[in-house]
Amino acid sequence: MEIVSVLKEKFGYDSFRTGQREIIEDVLNGFDCVAMLPTGGGKSLCYQLPGYVLEGSVLIISPLVSLMEDQVQQLRNFGEKRVIALNSFLPHAEKQEVLRRLAHYRFIYASPEILQSPSLLSALQTVPISLFVVDEAHCISQWGHDFRPDFLKLGRLRKQLGSPPCLALTATATREVIDDIVATLELTNVKKHLYSIDRPNIALCVEHVATLEEKIERLIHIVDAVKKPGIVYVSSRQWAEKLAECLRERGHRTAFYHGGMEAEQRLLIQQQFVYDQLDVICCTNAFGMGVNKPNVRFVIHFHLPAQPEAYWQEVGRAGRDGKESIAILLYAPGDEQIAKTMIEAEFPSLEQIVYAIQSIKHGNEHIGLTEVQERLIFYWLEQIEEADSIEAIAKQMHAHVEKRRRMKEAKLSFMLRWMMEERCRRQALLAYFHESLPHRHERCCDRCSLELAVYEEKNERMSSIPLKAWQEELRRMFLAKVGKR
């Protein structure tokens, strides 16, 4: 069959993973598709392979620059030259040249934000788009754990491009989110490929400690003992830096990663981790998406995740090679207050919304909200019908805010219940995603059968290797890459 030949010739694989063949066949037959595959399940192949069979270009909308760059690099490693990522890393002059030759590219990656550019839309309208791909499609849904307002405009954008067949991909979504994806993208004759999100090779464990000091000591003890590499997730930039320093003092090759760092520095840290120059990354949720590292042996949550979808996606960074891995959540009394505070900070009050609308009406650039809040305000202003007063518009907006706040509070409540769960943790988590556990795994969770010793490092720990200044290291890596061309 043709697609098997393409699989072997272009990607070097002899067989498909679960679900890939069925998804690809429906895509090639022109159906709109929504596909949910577990993290590490090979979602990218579901649009990359059709790109070699279909005529025209494949447009891939992706939420993160790092995710785009990683997938572009993977395609180039397979020998594909007709691939481009349209994002902030692209210099202005080069971007203009790319737009002039856009039809030349087989794969076009873009963020939903950059797709709001009139010049880019105009260029795309001259390109025959054979497939419209939305990666991390849960970002579309207001009920998704990583909601992005600009994703809401993709249904309209797809129409402006002639309504090409659509493939929406995600690793974690409830039925409500799936329905929202279909409605927002205005998919018709849609085929749903919803496979189990279970990762049987990742054991789940929750450990309760009495104090913050005890939690830090326990973290250090676990990282000392278990096989590496691994990821430690925290709730703030300060904690990422603090824990990285603690582990570095213990002799671990460790770095921190968060959204407050320069883009080049983040890229360097990511590459050092991928190429085994670092053993442990202490990071916020800014790290992980699109990092193609199959041998992560552990994921530790130092702080309580506020949503099960985000928790499961971060857990899924481990064990992408199929080997035994472990996910550990450390909890100290009062941790839920951090999550509650973050939820509160996410949503503007009625007074803030009124002030923001008044500022917009008077042409002020600064409306006193975060970037995400601003995008939501502008989006809702487009959607809400004309009202009698600013106060009336603000009340409609605030109703949207309160609905989303209640949803997030319900997700946090689930995490608190799950953390105290006395039955099988995996079974309880899968039930949240409307799945059942057909059979017990040999190493399932701390409520079933689990021995931490199984995951401990048998060899002597490597001594710490001092990292060079990141500017010097990035220069060395860049020169090495240039030399290989």
SS3 letters for 97-133? HHHHCHHHCCEEEECCCHHHCHHHHHHHCCCCEEEEE
- Give the ranges where 348-389 is alpha helix by DSSP (H): 350-361, 371-383
**Nearest-angstrom CA–CA distance, 3 and 168:** 20
Task: Give me the domains of the chain, ranges plus CATH numbers.
Answer: 3-194 (3.40.50.300), 202-338+412-455 (3.40.50.300)
Cα-based distances in Å from 128 to 7, 55, 97, 161, 440: 24, 8, 18, 9, 49
Task: Name the pairing type of β-strands 325-331 and 230-233.
Answer: unpaired
Q: What is the pLDDT of residues 34-70, one digit of tens each?
A: 999 988 778 999 999 999 999 999 999 988 777 787 8
- The region, left, alpha or beta by phi > 0 then psi within -120 to 50, assigned to residue 360 is alpha
Other residues' Cβ atoms within 10 Å of the Cβ of residue 219: 22
pLDDT tens, position by position, for the chain (485 residues)?
589 999 999 998 999 999 999 999 999 999 999 999 988 778 999 999 999 999 999 999 988 777 787 888 889 988 999 999 997 778 888 889 999 999 999 999 998 888 988 999 999 999 999 999 999 898 887 666 567 777 888 999 999 999 999 999 998 888 889 999 999 999 988 999 999 999 999 999 999 999 999 999 999 999 999 999 999 999 999 999 999 999 999 999 999 999 899 878 988 898 899 999 999 999 998 887 767 789 999 999 999 999 999 999 899 999 999 999 999 999 999 999 999 998 888 888 888 888 888 888 777 767 777 777 777 777 777 767 666 688 888 888 888 889 888 989 999 999 999 999 899 999 999 999 999 987 788 899 999 978 888 899 875 444 444 444 545 555 555 454 444 44
**Nearest-angstrom CA–CA distance, 390 and 384:** 11
Q: Enter the tokens of residue 393.
A: 């518009």
- pTM of the prediction? 0.84
Q: Enter the tokens of residue 131.
A: 């497939």
| Mean pLDDT rounded to a whole number for the chain | 87
Q: What is the pLDDT of residues 11-31, one digit of tens each?
A: 989 999 999 999 999 999 999
**Nearest-angstrom CA–CA distance, 251 and 224:** 9
**Nearest-angstrom CA–CA distance, 318 and 158:** 34
**Nearest-angstrom CA–CA distance, 141 and 147:** 6
pLDDT at 394: 87
Q: State the Cα angle at 290 between 288 and 291, rounded to 5°.
A: 60
pLDDT exceeding 70 applies to what percent of the chain?
Answer: 91
Q: Enter the tokens of residue 203.
A: 């054991």
pLDDT at 2: 85
Residue 425: what are its φ and ψ, rounded to 5°? -65, -40
Question: 3-class DSSP state for residue 317?
Answer: coil
The label of the residue with tokens 């360097």 reads 268
CB 282 within 8 A of CB 234: yes
pLDDT at 474: 53
Question: 3-class DSSP state for residue 25?
Answer: helix
3-state secondary structure 59-88: EEECCCHHHHHHHHHHHHHCCCCCEEEECC
**Nearest-angstrom CA–CA distance, 317 and 298:** 9
Q: Enter the tokens of residue 229.
A: 């590499």
Residues making up the chain, counted from first to last = 485
**Nearest-angstrom CA–CA distance, 333 and 191:** 45
The number of angstroms, rounded, from the C-alpha of 460 to the middle of its chain's C-alpha atoms is 34
